[in-house]
Structure formats: structure tokens, C-alpha cells
Amino acid sequence: MSAEYDVSESTRRLLEEKAKRRLFLREQFLKLKSDPFRHASNEGGTVFDPALQRYQAMKINTFEFFRPTSKNALIALAFLVIPVSLSTYCMHTSRSNAEHKYRTGEVAYKDRRFKFI
């Protein structure tokens, strides 16, 4: 059951080359992973992937190369400080208003939320 797709010749050739390369890399990985003599060299049976190692090193060293700029400060202000401050203010005012109504007797005890009984 083969499907016919409307792709250009160059795209088809590119997709075939990518599939061939992916198959080669997969076979190479499985060959390295299942090598019984790999444990003898104290490598632990894992395949060393230089791209993964570079990515992990980059993630670990992110803060060593971080330089604070005004753009970073604005992003932190917009996505952290302002939303937290706004939600804290809204929560405080709504609870203060409810507490004021409870204490002045505008709301009966049976109608209150969060009562003990």
C-alpha cells in the first residue's frame, strides 16, 4: 500500500537522503549500544553523543554568561513582577472588602463562605 504525494523531485530526493542518513545513524547507534566489549573500556555502555553533551553544557553554563540588560529587566517585570503584584493586590482588596462586610454585619453568618459550621 503505497501513497502518492505531490512533491517536487528535489524535495523527494532530499527526503530520501534524510531517511537514508537517519537509517545509517540509527544502525550506527544500535551497533555502538549493543557492543559487548564496550564495558571493558569503562564507558558504562552508553553512547557518547557530542551534540547532547554540548546542549547539557550550554544549559549548565547559562548563568555564567548571562548579562543583565534593560530588555531582560523589562521581560522580568512584564512576566513576573507585574502579574504577581496585580494578583496580590486583587486578592488583598477582595478579602479586605469581604472581611469588612463580615465585621460590620452586612453578611449574615449563615450566608458567609468559609465558615466553621
How many CA atoms lie within 13 Å of 65's alpha carbon, on the beta-carbon side?
Answer: 6
Q: Give me the mean pLDDT over the 83-96 stretch.
A: 97
Residue 50 CB burial class (10 angstroms; 0-12, 13-18, ≥19) = exposed
> Is there a contact between 13 and 21 (Cβ–Cβ < 8 Å)?
no
pLDDT at 1 over 60: no
**Residue ranges of domains in the chain:** 8-66, 69-107
Q: For residue 8, what is its C-alpha cell?
A: 517536487
What is the chain's mean pLDDT, rounded? 88
Total-model pTM: 0.48
Measured CA to CA, the distance from residue 63 to residue 53 in angstroms comes to 17
Measured CA to CA, the distance from residue 33 to residue 12 in angstroms comes to 31
**pLDDT interval class at 78 (50, 70, 90):** very high
Query: 19-34, pLDDT tens digit by residue?
Result: 999 999 999 888 888 8
Q: Give me the mean pLDDT over the 86-99 stretch.
A: 96
